Amino acid sequence: DSGVTQTPKHLITATGQRVTLRCSPRSGDLSVYWYQQSLDQGLQFLIQYYNGEERAKGNILERFSAQQFPDLHSELNLSSLELGDSALYFCASSPFSGGGETQYFGPGTRLLVL
Amino acid sequence: KNEVEQSPQNLTAQEGEFITINCSYSVGISALHWLQQHPGGGIVSLFMLSSGKKKHGRLIATINIQEKHSSLHITASHPRDSAVYICAVFMNRDDKIIFGKGTRLHILP
Q: Taking 90 as the threshold, does the pLDDT of residue A97 lie above it?
A: no
Instruction: Compute the distance between CA of residue B50 and CA of residue B27 in angstroms, rounded to an integer.
Output: 14
Each residue's pLDDT tens digit, A28-73: 999 999 999 998 888 999 999 999 999 999 989 999 999 999 999 9
Sign for the CA dihedral angle at B52, B15, B102, A81 comes to negative
**Among candidates B31, B44, B99 on the partner chain, residue whose Cβ is nearest the Cβ of A100:** B31
pLDDT at B74 over 70: yes
* Res B39: pLDDT: 85
Classify residue B93 by burial, with Cβ atoms within 10 Å: 0-12, 13-18, 19+.
exposed
The share of chain A scoring above pLDDT 70, in percent, equals 100
Q: Which candidate, A73, A114, A69, A70, places its Cα nearest to that of A91?
A: A73
Q: Do B45 and A103 touch (CB under 8 A)?
A: yes
Across B50-72, average pLDDT: 96
In A, minimum Cα distance to B48 occurs at: A102
- pLDDT, mean of residues B40-55: 93
Given a cut of 80, is residue B77 above it in pLDDT? yes
Q: pLDDT-derived band of residue B1, with 50, 70 and 90 as boundaries? A: low
What average pLDDT does the segment A91-103 reach? 88
> Confidence class of residue B93 from pLDDT cuts 50, 70 and 90?
confident
Output the pLDDT for position A59: 86
Mean local confidence (pLDDT), A77-106: 93
Contact A43 B88 (CB under 8 A): yes
Residue A58 φ then ψ, to 5°: -110, -135
- Chain A contact residues (CB < 8 Å to B): 2, 33, 42-45, 48, 55-58, 88, 90, 92, 97-105, 107-108, 110
